[in-house]
Amino acid sequence: MSENTQTTATPQKYELPISGEQFRDETAAAYSPKLGKKRKRQIIVNKVDDGDTVPEILANTRTAPGILTMRGCAYAGCKGVVLGPTRDILQITHGPIGCGFYSWLTRRNKTRPKTLDDPNYMTYAMSTDLQEDEVVFGGEKKLMAAIDEAVALFHPKAIGIFATCPVGLIGDDVHAVARAAEEKYPGINIFGFSCEGYKGVSQSAGHHIANNKVFTDVVGQLDAVKEGKYRLNMLGEYNIGGDAFELERIAEACGLTLHSTFSGNSVYDEFASAHTADLNVVMCHRSINYLAEMMEAKYGIPWFKVNLVGADATAKSFRKMAAFFGDSELIERTEAVIEAEMVEVEKVRSEIRPRCEGKTAMIFVGGSRAHHYQDLLREIGVITISAGYEFAHRDDYEGRKVLPTITVDADSRNIEELKVTADETRYHPRITAEDKAKREAGGFTFSDYRGMMPEMPAGTLVIDDANHFEIEKLIEYYHPDLICAGIKEKYVVQKQGIPMKQLHSYDYMGPFAGFKGAVNFYREIDRLLNCNVFKFAKAPWDESPELTATYNN
């Protein structure tokens, strides 16, 4: 690859027109002293010292009540994010109707059943629609009846049950019902998730709950090995806007066998046999690192973090996958794919970059996207001057090296941390300890995530759980050219004449991952920054509102 494609080097320092410290102090002053003090620990002026040391940030902590927050709940993280994209695990929401309704197709997880006979339950929202008398007398009987009806109508091979807030409070035991149902229907894997919305402080608790149950009840249920020399699972890729389709295409072209994706465009059997693959690569660290860790401990599958957003990052990540397997043919084929793909990427990039160069962006989203998308923006010269996660933890900001120093508070303590030991028969380390050590000595990282902050310039603002008030302040202080966040923030920003890109739903476009995704994204950012529709916000008469008149005498 030629030198000029390396456009993504992070600048070391960025000087904000008004210092980040001033922003932090003046913003925090608007809050009550207690809240202001807390927010000051969540609004950090970035600084990167040798060895990737960055300032400590307070994360994964409660949002103050009454604050206009971006955050959702554990149910959304569990059912909406992690399990939702799977097409043949029939999913029943146990609770009143709302939760099932709002999580019905709204996350744009695409799926592609192979034949017309293949099951696809994603277009079906199923709920026990609990009523008042069931809330009073218990809803377990209704849940069991709902499972009976679901089995009779759909004949699924697996059923997931998702608990909502009132279910936990009235004491319905979704796990007991799942066990009883499994006895009744021995051929069907039925499991429950205690993902009541009040658990934890955000969606993040729901990710963990989902990981735990998928690990204990699904992965390892089927010892079927997919054909292929280089078999891997892709974790934390949810196929929003078709991202997984694009990554499947690249993997196939390189000669990799994608055993399963957790959980975009996925099916139950691929989950159940995921333990037979030889490598786990992790996209969204926040939502699925637990599963990667547990699969390594139980089955000996190594994992490493990848970033498949941004063409350069995609190339780098596929090179790393090829290097892991170490086969020269695979490495050569991967290089050939990258070279071929980069032709179009560079063509579009060089066309668009001059129009976007030097523009500023802010990203407040997710548990990984606020990091990944900085690479993609940088490829067309857009600088991210402030970023933060909606529901991430300190390790997503500062890197996994801080894991031992993270204190677990009361809100996280109730989320079960599974103790995992090696499987008696099926544990086999895919690479030996010596081999691993040798590779690591050569700079190959396993089980690590560097975090977002070491890859952001010093002087930029890192803000955890940024809220409406702070985004308003950021706009006032720094007038960014682009803001990336979610649907709730979309029109708040756009009403002010600043283009806003949704990075949960992609504004109903995509894919944005991989090579074709990068091209789509460059074009989309070009549209947002240069289409000029926002100029109509001011009418011509607003420019000179004073009336002047002349008299013709």
Partner 1 sequence: MLLRHTPTGLSERKALTINPAKTCQPIGAMYAALGLRNCMPHSHGSQGCCAYHRSSLTRHYNDPIMSTTSSFSEGSSVFGGQANILESFTNIFSLYNPDIIAVNTTCLSEVIGDDLVQIIKKAAEDKKIPEGKTVIHANTPSFKGSHVTGYANMAAAMVKYFAKNTGKCNGKITLIPSFIEPSDMSEMKHIASEMGIKYIMYPDTSGVVNGPMDGHFRMYPKGGCPKESVVASGDSKAAIAIGRFGAMSATRLLDTQCKVPVHAVDLPIGITATDIFVDMLRKIAGVSVPESIRLERGQLVDVLCDMCQYTYGKKVSLLGDPDILLPMVQFCKDAGMEVLHVLTGTPPGKVKLEERIRELYGDKVIVKAGLLCDMFMFQQLVQENKPDLIMGNTYCKYMCRDLDIPLLRIGFPIYDRIGQSYVPMVGYRGGMHLLLKILNIFMDRQDRDAEEENVELIM
What is the C-alpha to C-alpha distance for residues 226 and 272, in angstroms, rounded to an integer? Answer: 12
Q: How many CA atoms lie within 13 A of 195 on its CB side?
A: 35
What is the C-alpha to C-alpha distance for residues 282 and 293, in angstroms, rounded to an integer? Answer: 10
What residues pair up with 43 in beta bridges, in sequence order?
463
At a CB cut-off of 8 Å and minimum separation 6, what does 93 contact? 75, 79, 99, 100, 103, 125, 126, 127, 128, 162, 164
| Nearest approach, Cβ of residue 63 and partner 1 (Å) | 5
| Nearest approach, Cβ of residue 537 and partner 1 (Å) | 4
Active site (annotated) includes residue 254:
no
Active site (annotated) includes residue 155:
no
What is the C-alpha to C-alpha distance for residues 300 and 287, in angstroms, rounded to an integer? Answer: 21
Question: With respect to partner 1, which residue has the nearer C-beta, 143 or 362?
Answer: 143
SS3 476: helix
- 59, 76, 370, 466: the catalytic one is 76
Q: Measured on CA atoms in the order 456, 460, 462, 468, is the torsion positive or negative?
A: negative
- In Å, what is the CA distance from 163 to each residue of 151, 209, 400, 410? 19, 11, 31, 21
| Nearest approach, Cβ of residue 509 and partner 1 (Å) | 14
- 207, 231, 275, 371: the catalytic one is 207
The number of residues making up the chain comes to 553
What is the C-alpha to C-alpha distance for residues 231 and 270, in angstroms, rounded to an integer? Answer: 12
Cβ atoms 83, 89 nearer than 8 A: yes
| Nearest approach, Cβ of residue 136 and partner 1 (Å) | 9
| Nearest approach, Cβ of residue 485 and partner 1 (Å) | 12
Active site (annotated) includes residue 107:
yes
- 28, 59, 73, 178: the catalytic one is 73
| Nearest approach, Cβ of residue 395 and partner 1 (Å) | 22
What is the C-alpha to C-alpha distance for residues 342 and 499, in angstroms, rounded to an integer? Answer: 28
What is the C-alpha to C-alpha distance for residues 49 and 53, in angstroms, rounded to an integer? Answer: 5
Tokens 């949704």 map to which residue? 502
Question: With respect to partner 1, which residue has the nearer C-beta, 199 or 359?
Answer: 199
| Nearest approach, Cβ of residue 489 and partner 1 (Å) | 9
- 41, 107, 319, 468: the catalytic one is 107
DSSP per position, 92-147: EEESSHHHHHHTSSTT-B----SSTTS---TT--EE----HHHHHH-SHHHHHHHH
Q: What DSSP character marks residue 152? A: H
Question: With respect to partner 1, which residue has the nearer C-beta, 30 or 437?
Answer: 30
> Closest Cα partner for 528 from 389, 356, 386, 398?
356
Active site (annotated) includes residue 99:
no
The residues annotated as belonging to the active site are 73, 76, 107, 207
